[in-house]
Structure 1
Amino acid sequence: MSDQKRDVLQIGKQVEMFVDDTLIHRMEKTYLKLNPPEKKEIVLTMDQPWEGSGSGIYCSVFKDGDIYRMYYRGTFDNSSDHSNGQACCYAESRDGIHWERPELGIHEFNGSTRNNIIMLGNIAHNFSPFLDTRPGVPPQEKYKAVAGYAPRGLFTFVSEDGLHFTKFQEEPVLTKGAFDSHNLAFWDAQRNCYICYSRYFASNLEPNIEAPEDSAVFVGVRAIQYSTSEDFIHWTEPQPNEYDKGPLEHFYTNSTLPCPGAEHIYLSFPMRFMPERFKIAGHSKVGVSDNTFMTSRNGMFWKRAFREAWTRPGLDPRNWTQRSSAPAWGILETSTEEFSLYINEHYQWDDSRIRRVTVPRHRFASVHGDYTGGVFTTKLLAVGGNALMINYATSAPGSVKVGIIDESGWPISNFSTEDCDIIYGDELSYTVTWRGNADLSSFVGKAVRFKFELKDADIYALRFGDCT
């Protein structure tokens, strides 16, 4: 019994998404299924004089009070990543759909300050701001940012208004890495520290891997590393991300963050680069890219339950060229039912742009059972509330049934799948009942497994709550 108790998952009332096998004990004719987002409207097209073909990438978005903020790369001299002909540009929105470029009057471009530029020069190449949510942060440091590239390193910045940034210190805080794409940082409330995810080149070379454009950095596979800090000044030595499985692939960016409403689960959306491929004749550079999806419970060790793309380049040939499809950092809760994310398209074309994509709340992946039916059971869970809520969807003839199993593996009387009231439909939060009874008060604090019988159905998430 003591061995079993040590394996009981204490999930309280937090949302647990089926994005990996963390909660899964056994699956029979069911499987984990990735649910790609729905592509929505183009929110910004790079059509300003300071927004050349290399613009719209390395994007960061977050909510700040009643507005949404967006920061993205602008270029007007595409000769080099180290060129001074680069800008960090700013846009804002009230709904996450309609975005405007305010005339900020901060920097002059071609004799005018009527633009949305917040940073100019080579440091703007991958300038990545965030809203600092650390308790007690001084007002003048409410917004922070990281930016840099090898061999200089990664620098930190602070701002009081999210528009006027100054260096937090003159020297770089990190020097071990390449830093030549979207590095990012944020306050991690789960670990009570700042965490930075940055780019480096792993040494495990594979055949047909293209050497990086900048020969000053170490040749290898583009990869992700992390570092932490308690004060945004002193940072730990960068450590490589660790993964449970999968071959080495080029992860060009990472877009890592805690999931809204389930902040104990870290999500990451690396832009995956294939440097040996070339699809569109006449394009100036080789390589094609898409993006992937992976998860972590501690921000260091990552599960790659899905090898397929999160979004594909699709029918548009201009997305079949290098460095398109990089997801922005940030998930916006644009409604109570919808997450909005953003990806760049048409990189290095004359109409480079940013597109919104959406995911129903907490539906990044699911356990799926097809029409013939399937079953899965959870690991032992400590019941954290007197009701079980599920995020699910079925077809018209599909169904879900849930049963409760005790620690010894026996169905519990009156709470078996045979007792469960049949569930069908499409709901983000549904309270499970057994013969009309949802009350799990007698199980609170006890360890049980849940058995799910699925017919043409998906279970995206579960949580314990309180029935009224």
Structure 2
Amino acid sequence: MPAPAAPPAAPIALGSRRELFVDRFLVAGLEGAELRLATPLDAGPALAFDRPWEGAFCAYSTVLRHGGRWLLYYRGVPSSGPDGRAAEVTCVAESADGRTFTRPELGLFAMAGAPRNNVVLANAAPFSHNFSPFVDTCPGVGAGPALKAIAGVHSSGLHGFVSADGFRWTPVQAGPVLPSPKEFTFDSQNVAFYSEHERKYVLYYRTWQEIGGTKYRWVSRAVSEDFVHWTTEGPVDYGGAPPEHLYTNQTSPYFRAPHIYAGICARFFPGRQVLTEAQARAVQVDPQYFQDCSDAVLVTSRGGRSFSRTFLDAFLRPGLGLQNWVSRSNYPALNLAQTGPAEMSFYVNRDYGQPTAHLRRYALRLDGFASLHAGYGGGTMLTHPVTFTGHRLALNYATSAAGSVRVELLDGDRQALPGFGLADAAELIGDEIEGYARWKQGVGVGAAQGRVVRLRFHLKDADVYSFGFLG
């Protein structure tokens, strides 16, 4: 695990925002407790890439919510070849619940044997290679197009697109919004979004970084006030984590805590071959696509070029089946979807380069990328000094029948505030997405508003996924 960050110079202003246990930003000390990475639940196929214009090399998927439904965008191309070629198209599918997707019959572009189909961009090389849309939440957008997209390869630079309905896309201008530098770049899915936290458009894009004589697939960042004029800021910093090839970065604001950017990235191991030639023939993978393997890892940021790789272990392993151990499989889609009152989902391209290529859904508890965890023997976590503005302390937590969660509020000298000590704290037992810390006097924490405090969590056979001082 990377070394913890230095303590903050001033108290952390939490306000009433929700905080997750995806990094050590708030952690001053752990005793008998740990930050534990979640294990996603395989929820089954979401869409098979089985149309003639789709096929084995569908990739770079994006899921977003627009117009009361979920939209899935992805590259369609049935055969391998150079990036940005004319055969590539951009496809869309729809879902009411984010669990399974169907194709709308749009009729915008005629495909062989199917005049009505789900293609939203064609005959527009190279932009269907990595077309990456997002919902524009900038307050100044008003009645303008609700959706924007970024697309392009090194030979073209990155171009911007806009759409009102998610199906009909037009360029924002004739040339690129971010021209290519001299160094080779943009050869992956490049992702943009409007950051409510930073109050600007943010772009994370593919670059390369030489470290110790090895060139790694890397990520760099640019920002913009208007989506058209971009300023590059340079490569991101993973805080001392060992360098690895992150093929896609898939960074976006987490929808329940938008000051935290979460990326479920494809981690690529070039030349790490698992299948023999005979096994590759058996799964019918393209002969050029079985000499490498990939999995997925979790990275997070709180803005800027600094990222945390708190967990170096795989977030999603390739899993059972030789078909999962081929080149460029297991690539996560951009964004997460809330698919139930207590559930969120992310999506992964599986069986790349094979006739069985498809998008698969994985489920997590809401806020549940990771948790503060302690076993039966119990443990504690102490936060750095913080201030807050809410009136109740909400917790997303789960315990065993024998387990519990309790919370203390301490002053700057780590002494319990009157009425908020361990002896005053009620045991929380159960499993709730939004439960409330309680003390003998009740759930109110207004008496501590405006003060610099620390929180000490006491856990026994329990997990806490998030907390926040809500209104």
Do the two structures share a fold, i.e. TM-score over 0.5?
yes
Q: Distance in 2 between matches of 1:459 and 1:224?
A: 31
Do the aligned residues in 2 keep the contact of 1:85 with 1:122 (CA within 8 Å)? no
Equivalent residue of 2:230, what SS? coil
Could you state the TM-score of these two structures normalised by the residue count of structure 2?
0.91
Give me the whole-angstrom Cα distance separating, in 2, the residues matched to 1:330 and 1:366: 20
Contact persistence 2:328–2:352 (CA under 8 A):
yes
- 1:404/1:116 CA distance change after superposition, 3 Å: same
Deviation at 1:365, TM superposition (A): 0.9
Retained in 2: the 8 A contact 1:266–1:299? no
Q: State the secondary structure of the residue aligned to 2:15.
A: coil
Whole-angstrom distance in 2 between the partners of 1:441 and 1:137: 37
Q: Deviations over 1:405-455 (max 9, x none)?
A: 211121234321122111221111111112252222211111111111211
Partner of 1:279: 274
Q: Please list the CA deviations of residues 11-67 of structure 1 after superposition, one character each: whole Å capped at 9, or x if unmatched.
A: 111101111111111111111111132121211011111112111x20111111311
Q: 2:311 aligns with which of 306, 314, 318?
A: 306
Cα displacement string for residues 252-286 of structure 1 (whole angstroms, at most 9, x for unaligned residues): 00110111121111111110000020011223231
Aligned residues of 1:151 and 1:178 also touching (Cα < 8 A): no
Identity of aligned residues (%): 37
Deviation at 1:124, TM superposition (A): 0.6
The residue number in structure 2 matching 1:91 is 93
Q: Aligned runs of 1:179-218 on 2, under 5 Å?
A: 179-204=186-211, 206=213
Aligned residues: 450
Tell me the alpha carbon deviations over residues 147-177 of structure 1, each in whole angstroms, 9 at most, x when there is no partner: 1112322111122322121222222222135
Partner of 2:237: 242
| Aligned residue runs from structure 1 range 91-130, under 5 A | 91-110=93-112, 112-120=114-122, 121-130=125-134
Give the alignment partner of residue 137 of structure 1, picking from 118, 132, 141.
Answer: 141
Amino acid at match of 1:52: G
Q: 1:441 to 1:40 in 2, by over 3 A?
A: same
Cα deviation code 1:216-258 (max 9, x no counterpart): xxxx211111111112211112511112121110010011011
Change in CA separation of 1:159 and 1:33 when aligned onto 2, cut-off 3 Å: same
Superposed displacement of residue 206, structure 1: 4.8
Matches within 5 A, 1:364-443: 364-435=369-440, 437-443=442-448
Q: TM-score, normalised by structure 1?
A: 0.92
Match of 1:163 among 148, 163, 167: 167
Question: Offset of 1:98 from its aligned partner?
Answer: 2.6
Q: Is residue 2:468 matched to residue 1:463?
A: yes
Q: Would you say the 8 A contact 1:195–1:229 is kept in 2?
A: yes
Q: Report the CA distance shift for 1:200/1:383 in structure 2 as closer, same or farther (over 3 A).
A: closer
Partner of 1:22: 25
Does 2:344 correspond to 1:339?
yes
| In structure 2, C-alpha distance between the alignment counterparts of 1:166 and 1:297, rounded to whole Å | 32
Q: CA, structure 1 residues 206+358, in 2 after alignment: closer, same or farther (shift >3 Å)? A: farther
Secondary structure of 1:429 counterpart: strand
Partner Cα separation in structure 2 for residue 122 and residue 109 of structure 1 = 18
What is the Cα-based RMSD across aligned positions, in Å?
1.8
Partner of 1:47: 50
1:318 partner SS: helix
Larger deviation, residues 264-273 vs 151-160: 151-160
Quick check: 1:146–1:154 contact (8 Å CA) kept in 2? yes
1:28–1:376 contact (8 Å) kept in structure 2: yes
Match of 1:215 in 2: none
- The letter for the 2-side match of 1:261 is R
Residue 231 of structure 2 aligns to a residue whose secondary structure is: coil
Q: How much does 1:367 deviate? A: 1.4
With 72-81 and 136-145 compared, the bigger mean Cα shift is at 136-145
Structure 2: how far apart are the matches of 1:415 and 1:191?
34
The 8 Å contact of residues 386 and 443 in structure 1, kept in 2 or not, is answered as no
Q: Which residue of 1 aligns with 2:3?
A: none
CA–CA distance in 1 between the matches of 2:8 and 2:329?
48
In structure 2, the partner of 1:266 is 261
Conserved 8 A contact 1:8-1:379 = yes
Deviation of residue 461 (structure 1)? 1.1
2:68 matched to 1:66?
yes
Q: Which residue of 2 aligns with 1:217?
A: none
1:361 aligns with 2:366: yes
Amino acid at match of 1:199: R
Write the deviation string for residues 162-197 of structure 1: whole angstroms up to 9, x where unpaired: 212122222222213521211111122222221111
Counterpart of 1:172 in structure 2 is 176
**Letter of the structure 1 residue corresponding to residue 237 of structure 2:** E
SS at structure 1 position matched to 2:43? strand
Unaligned ranges ≥5, structure 1: 208-219
Instruction: Name the CA distance, whole Å, in 2 between partners of 1:238 and 1:123.
Output: 24
**What secondary structure does 2:331 align onto?**
coil
